[in-house]
Amino acid sequence: MDFSLTETQQLIRETARDFARQEVAPGAAERDETHRFPAEIVRQLAALGFMGVAIPEELGGSGLDPLCYVLAMEEISRACAGTGVIMSVNNSLVCDPLHAFGTPEQHERWLRPLARGELLGCFGLSEPGTGSDAVNLKTTAKQVDGGYLLDGTKNFITNAPEADLALIFAVTDREKRHKGVSCFLLPMKTPGVSLGSHDKKVGIRCSHSSPIILEEVLLPAEAMLGRPGDGFRIAMATLDGGRIGIAAQALGIAGAALAAAASYAQERTAFGKPIAELQAIQFMLADMATELDAARLLTYRAAWLKGAGKRYGKEAAMAKLFASEAASRIASKAIQIHGGYGYVSDYPAERFWRDARITEIYEGTSEIQRLVIAANFLKELE
């Protein structure tokens, strides 16, 4: 047992923290307001090696462990959660499955530039009528001469407007249910690919998401990731890892909200003393700090398990469930501590609250995490 960070982990955290403070935090409020994609910051993240943190160096990544990825995600998201998710999608949902399931040719063509941050990726699983129930996809991939013909619509695809490559999950054999889903590497410039209008979101507004519309998109057979029918397995394995990234994003938002609330409470005077001296405020701060640490330990543990090559599906679900819900509670209390100032955009608390909300939804809603946790828990009892 050792709750301390290694030197490398500390170094990554400090590097990410310095960069986040200097480069990411200053424009975060403005980007939130204007919905401007942080293209320059993404280039800088790439230069720092943060777009492919856990990918081996020989494949273009930084070769670091999943905990380093979590620490970097936490720090970047603390400054700007929208930037955090851009990074998370590329790392967890694109580079990781490409690394795990890709052929050497796919590694060369796609993983290397994606991990270096020269290209940006997105993950196309959800559809207008299918979110949590990922087996029932409507998008189809029909085998034809020269490969597969894809038709359908993917929805809420983070990074889609800026992405160079999408992982697309489509049904290749409807009768086989979840074993009839396959995963494709889709260059976004392929004929027949178009984007729907950008989603107007509550939060994480500098990150863009939109539908991806596929109309008779022809892909060669070698565009498939894994084998026919591997798609659902790839998606689920990818989301196990992705959940750790989103948990880390939630930690960042929660940390920012707690920091803002604690310093405001020390500056703001009411009833003749700083409100930090009132027990009502102290109780909120204590609960926020405790839940943040609990969330952090769950998240770091899941990352540690992943790095150690152990099973981590249940632990990742616990981390994501707890960290995301804790982030929402913490951000809500941060608003409360700010009073009226918490409700206006002159202060960042309301942004943290809006940004936190999505972490309870994407990459598996809280409800899905609970099903995953319960299924694992009950299996352990048998």
Partner 1 sequence: MDFALDEEQQILQRTLRSFAEKRVAAEAALRDRQGLFPTALLQECAALGLTGMLIPEQYGGSAMGAVAYSLALTEIGRACAGTAVTLSVSNMVAEAILRWGSESQRQEYLPGLCDGALVPGAFALTEPECGSDPAGLRTRATRVPEGYRLSGEKVFCTSASHAGVFLLVARTGAAGGKGLSAFLIPRGQPGLTVTRVEEKLGQHASDTATVCLDDCLVDAGALLGPEGAGLAIALGALDGGRIGIGSLALGIGQAALLAAGRYALQRVQFGKPIAEHGAIQAKLADCATELEAAQLLVWRAAWLKERGGARPTGEAAMAKLFATEAASHACDEALQIHGGYGYSKDFPVERYYRDVRVTRLYEGTSEIQRLVIARKLLERVGEGQGVP
Q: Which residues bind partner 1 (CB under 8 A)?
A: 1-6, 9, 67, 255, 258-259, 262-263, 265-266, 276, 279, 281-283, 285-287, 289-291, 293-295, 297-298, 300-301, 304-305, 315, 318, 321-322, 367, 369-375, 377-378, 381-382
Q: Calculate the CA 294 to chain-centre distance.
A: 20
CB of residue 381 vs partner 1: minimum separation in angstroms?
5
Buried b (16+ CB within 10 A) or exposed e, 313-332: bbbbbbbbbbbbbbbbbbbb
DSSP state of 22: I
**Of 48 and 281, which has the nearer Cβ to partner 1?**
281
> How, if at all, do strands 147-158 and 209-219 pair?
antiparallel
Measured from the CB of residue 296, what is the shortest distance to partner 1 in angstroms?
9
Instruction: For the beta carbon of residue 189, count every other beta carbon within 10 angstroms.
Output: 8
CA angle 185–115–216, rounded 5-degree value: 15
Closest contact distance (angstroms) between CB of 285 and partner 1 is 5
Taking the least distance from each CB to partner 1, the nearer of 56 and 274 is 274
* Cα angle for residues 353, 350, 159 (degrees, 5° grid): 60
Q: Are 242 and 95 contacting, i.e. CB atoms less than 8 angstroms apart?
A: no
Name which of 175 and 382 has its Cβ closer to partner 1: 382
Q: How far apart are CB 57 and partner 1 at their closest, in Å?
A: 22
Tokens of 329: 């509670």
Query: Which of residues 213 and 289 has its CB atom nearest to partner 1 in the complex?
Result: 289
Which among 314, 329, 338 has a CA at the least distance from the CA of 359? 329
Strand 121-124, strand 165-171: pairing: parallel
Instruction: CB nearer to partner 1: give 202 or 371.
Output: 371
Q: Which helix (H) or strand (E) holds 113?
A: helix 112-116
Q: What is the DSSP string of 51-77?
A: TSTTS-GGGTS----HHHHHHHHHHHH
Cβ–Cβ < 8 Å for 71, 87: no
CB 203, min distance to partner 1, A: 21
Q: Which CB, 205 or 306, lies closer to partner 1? A: 306
Task: Work out how close the CB of 220 gets to partner 1 at its nearest, in angstroms, rounded to a whole number.
Answer: 42
317 Cβ contact list (under 8 Å, min separation 6): 240, 243, 364, 369, 372, 373, 376
Return the active site residues.
363
